[in-house]
Amino acid sequence: MKKIATLSLGALLLGTTLFAYDSAKAEGFNKFYSHLTHKACANSKLFIDGNTVMKMYKEKKEFLLIDVRTDGEAGIVALSAKNALHIPIAKLFQKENLDKIPTDKPVIVVCHSGVRATMAVVGLKQLGFKNVQVLKGGIVALAKSDNPKNAPMK
C-alpha cells in the first residue's frame, strides 16, 4: 500500500511539472495580445499595402524591406532594391541578423503572402522594434502594385 501511495504521489508530481508553463512568458503574451480585438486588428498599423510601398519608393523615402522567404523562394524571385535585405525567417532572430535591422527608419517585412511576415513582425515587436510593418499580401501584392501609376520610374 505504501509503495502504491509513493508511486501515485511521484506520478502526480511528475505530471504537474510536465504540464507547467512559463507564467511570466504567458503574462507577456497576454499583455501583448489582449488588446487585439477584431476592430483593433482591422484598424492596425501593423500592415502596409503594396501601393503605399510603391509610393514610398517613388518619393525616395528611406525604409528597409526585409524578405523573410526561404533561400529557394528568393532564388526564383528576389527583391533587388538597394534597400532590401534577405533574411529567411528561420534565421531572423539570430543576433547577427537582428543587429542588421535599423531602429531609425521604417522596416517593412515581406514574404510570399504575408503570413510569415506577420509572425516575424509580431516577434520583432515583442523584442522592442517599434517601426516594423507587414507588407499586406506579401510579394504578390507588391508585384500587383508595380504599374505605371505607382512604380518608381528610372
What are the tens digits of pLDDT across the range 28-78? 778 777 777 777 766 778 899 999 999 998 899 999 999 999 999 998 988
Confidence (pTM): 0.74
Specify the 3-state DSSP secondary structure of 81: coil
CATH 3.40.250.10 fits 38-145, yes or no: yes
CA dihedral 121, 124, 129, 130 (to 10 degrees): 30
Residues of the chain with CATH 3.40.250.10: 38-145
pLDDT tens digits for range 95-150: 999 999 999 999 999 999 889 999 999 999 999 999 999 999 999 888 888 766 66
